[in-house]
Homo-oligomer: A and B are copies of this chain.
């Protein structure tokens, strides 16, 4: 874990407090008055695989309105027994690594083998406007018009925990609707990787050839999460450079302790633009899935992830309750300054704030 860079991170809060709202309103649906659906209608439609119902349910999940959340939670709970039958792949890479093009060709490749693919995203920094789903879809030219794909952008800005929760609930709905491949895309520059890593079966990191400056966009610690690293743009006179980078990454991964899955992370090269090397990547992913299903790690990790999110939700809520307490909000800056001025130790300052908080809760 890297030393956090600012106090908002210490608190465990991400303060991207854009007003939360459903990130997408399908313009098509706007034309006619939507029929009010009951919980039963939602569940029935989703299990039938009806994408319009699925889409409306996801909008409920993303809504901040209490009455929407009540229905959403009931729908999710009823969908739970039908969920879980999928392969969940996290895909990360810094901007410029060619993520959208890659997801487009990756998605077409996996759909050639049958099944249905949902592409979701986690990007707590996004400040997307309502119509942005169209923009997102345009980035994935072929996938967006494929009949067996469902593309949904990141829930709009909020806390990372909130965004992650919505994405994880959307996975449940997609799986219940028969989507057996789930891609979860993330931006490769922040804490969202940890969140994505904690909800997928395989974590794929897209890299570019080159060292030093070109890699600075990747946060520390992310490379160690990868089950596979793939070097994009291995084409034209870039092939040798990409192969060299692959061999460097391979050596570097060798120095890391082995992941608990028992799997040795692979490094491959490909070209998203020219669609070469893509088959090899997915052969690797499926080989991994077979491997961890055989050794029991697949189920073990899914269970660990379920527990992780329960505890993560609790911990986030406990922090929220404290740091968003009006009295604490008023006192916090002053105590922090006393610590910096060396009038109080960090521990005494913490204790004074905690005492005040628990006293206030009793009232």
For A342, give the chain B residue with the smallest CB separation.
Answer: B80
Q: Would you call A106 an interface residue if the criterion is a C-beta within 8 Å of the partner chain's C-beta atoms?
A: no
Within 8 A of B (CB), among A254-311: 254-260, 301, 303-311
Number of copies: 2
Q: Across the interface, do B314 and A5 meet the contact criterion of CB distance under 8 Å?
A: no
Task: Report the Cα distance A82→B127, complex, angstroms.
Answer: 48
Q: Across the interface, do B81 and A342 meet the contact criterion of CB distance under 8 Å?
A: yes
If the complex has contacts A80-B345, A251-B251, are A307 and B172 also in contact, measured as CB distance less than 8 A?
no
Q: Which 8 A-B pairs have the closest CB atoms?
A: A10-B311, A313-B350, A309-B346, A310-B346, A252-B252, A318-B318, A220-B224, A1-B194
Given contacts A10-B308, A10-B311, 15 further A-B contacts (CB under 8 A): A3-B225, A10-B307, A11-B311, A76-B345, A80-B343, A168-B347, A169-B345, A218-B257, A220-B224, A248-B255, A306-B339, A314-B354, A315-B315, A317-B351, A317-B354
Binding site for B on A (CB under 8 A): 1-7, 10-12, 73, 76-77, 80-81, 83-84, 165, 168-169, 172, 194, 197-198, 211-212, 215-221, 223-225, 248-249, 251-252, 254-260, 301, 303-315, 317-319, 321-322, 335-336, 339-340, 342-351, 353-354, 358, 361-362
